Structure 1
Amino acid sequence: MILLGSLINGLAIVLGSLLGAVLRNISEQMKETVTKGIGLGVLVLGIQMAFKTSSFIVILISLCVGAMVGEGVGIEDKMNVFGLELEKRYAKPGSNFAEGFITAALIFLIGSMGIIGAIESGVANNHQTLFTKAVMDGFMSIMLTATLGVGVLFSAVPVFLYQGIIAVAASILMRYIPKELLDVLMEELSAIGGLMILGIGLNIMGITKIRVSNYLPGIPILILIVTVLFYF
């Protein structure tokens, strides 16, 4: 079953969010300390991933051009509007539903683990990587929900769709992509994803407020540049 890994990942986020909702009565001091701990872990993960690049110039160009596209389209604003619409339907007024949805979705979506795991699911029907990611996301969703609210639960939907689409596409398209190109793409995608995750970590720590969503167009731009360089 190609979508098994994506399904388990989504269910882990739902279960973790439900448990986090039960733990909402834990002290604010504990929430803050654990959240900052998650932020530190996300920072380290982002740094580790960012160093995997073999062409920093390509990463920088992709990130900057992607930021221009993202700011022009207003991806961050649209995600906020979407989260606020969900908040009107499912959350109490004044809650931080939108922040929880967006923060969790970005943390769970960005990174090579989900991409590589989805590709493995689609190409080899191997779900081990996504199962591992499910464990990580499940534990992180507990604290994110306890801190940011029920909006985290709804991030399971884009996670399932995103990874599921990659898995299905991989099962069809990967047979036409040379292994050498695929290896380079995974390396550079990991690096640009690491920089975005680093921004998320800084946001969680409260150090700054980076509109990370607006960098997302940098991913397809990176794929295009790497592919062109590979063939030419």
Structure 2
Amino acid sequence: MVGVGTLLNVATVLIGGSLGLWLGGRLPERLRQTVVAGLGLFTLAYALKMFLTTQNSLVALGSVLIGALLGEWWRVEDGLQGLGRWLESRFARQESPAGSQRFVRGFLTASLVFCVGPMTILGSIQDGLSGNYQTLAIKSVLDGFASLAFASSLGVGVLFSSLVILVYQGSLTLLAAQIQQIISAPMMTEMNATGGVILMAIAIGSLLEIRPIRAGNLLPALFVAPPLVWLMSRFGLY
């Protein structure tokens, strides 16, 4: 079973996103832009806080560089965009090219924001090992409010990010016992710090729109961090 916390998270995203779609036409464009900008600034600040938990910034640097190489090689961002387009063609009405781009952007932005971060990893592990879903419950409330703001600005693609949450968090919960045995506290710390860098990319590229960044291609960095911590500790560098 994927876990109560994950199901709660999916429900809040669907409810919040549906409210956002309903209110979208009633919200002034300036208000929507300001809300998304506020979320972007908060995401940037929270990402910086995550990064500052690192005990060795070289781990985050190495993880991001190696993860970026792997992500570009595996074309993770293209895969996520392809999934978004498939979902659009399967479930959404056909729109103009601008509308299609908006759907994919909403799906990508919401999926990455909702699935990258310490609360996702820690909450899923807690839910899987002990049934304690309090961390995911807190995350669900935050994601619900965020999905309302995202959907009012970015459209129906935000709702389909709930599928990514279901698969990603559900998989982490099911594998929690194995993950907990493999990942040590220092590894978790550096995964969180690396996740902070990725969240900065999301804030700058998707939410604040300062410059385009293929944040999806940075996701492999999360899985590079633990073995990098292990390797550096073997040579006394961590």
Output the TM-score relative to the length of structure 2: 0.91
* The one of 120, 126, 133 aligned to 1:120: 126
Q: Report what 1:48 is aligned to.
A: 49
Q: Report what 1:85 is aligned to.
A: 86
Q: Report what 1:74 is aligned to.
A: 75
Deviation at 1:158, TM superposition (A): 1.0
Distance 2:158 2:146 in 1: 10
Structure 1: runs of 5+ lacking an equivalent: none
Alignment of 1:26-37 (within 5 A): 26-37=27-38
Deviation at 1:231, TM superposition (A): 5.5
Distance 2:131 2:233 in 1: 27
Alignment of 1:22-171 (within 5 A): 22-25=22-25, 26-92=27-93, 93-94=95-96, 95=99, 96-171=102-177
> Could you tell me whether the CA contact under 8 Å between 1:2 and 1:125 is conserved in 2?
no
Q: Report what 1:17 is aligned to.
A: 17
Aligned pair count?
Answer: 228
Deviation at 1:2, TM superposition (A): 6.2
Distance 2:128 2:156 in 1: 31
Structure 2: runs of 5+ lacking an equivalent: none
Distance 1:173 1:187 in 2: 14
Distance 1:128 1:20 in 2: 25
Distance 1:173 1:36 in 2: 35
Distance 2:12 2:106 in 1: 16
> Could you tell me whether the CA contact under 8 Å between 1:107 and 1:200 is conserved in 2?
yes
Deviation at 1:15, TM superposition (A): 0.7
Partner amino acid for 1:218?
A
Deviation at 1:24, TM superposition (A): 1.3
Q: Report what 2:187 is aligned to.
A: 185
Question: Relative to 1, partners in 2 of residues 1:131 and 1:42: Cα closer, same or farther, differing over 3 Å?
Answer: same
Distance 2:223 2:57 in 1: 16
Deviation at 1:99, TM superposition (A): 0.6
Q: Which runs of 4+ in 1 moved over 2 A?
A: 89-92, 171-174, 227-232
Distance 1:227 1:57 in 2: 13
Question: Relative to 1, partners in 2 of residues 1:124 and 1:56: Cα closer, same or farther, differing over 3 Å?
Answer: same
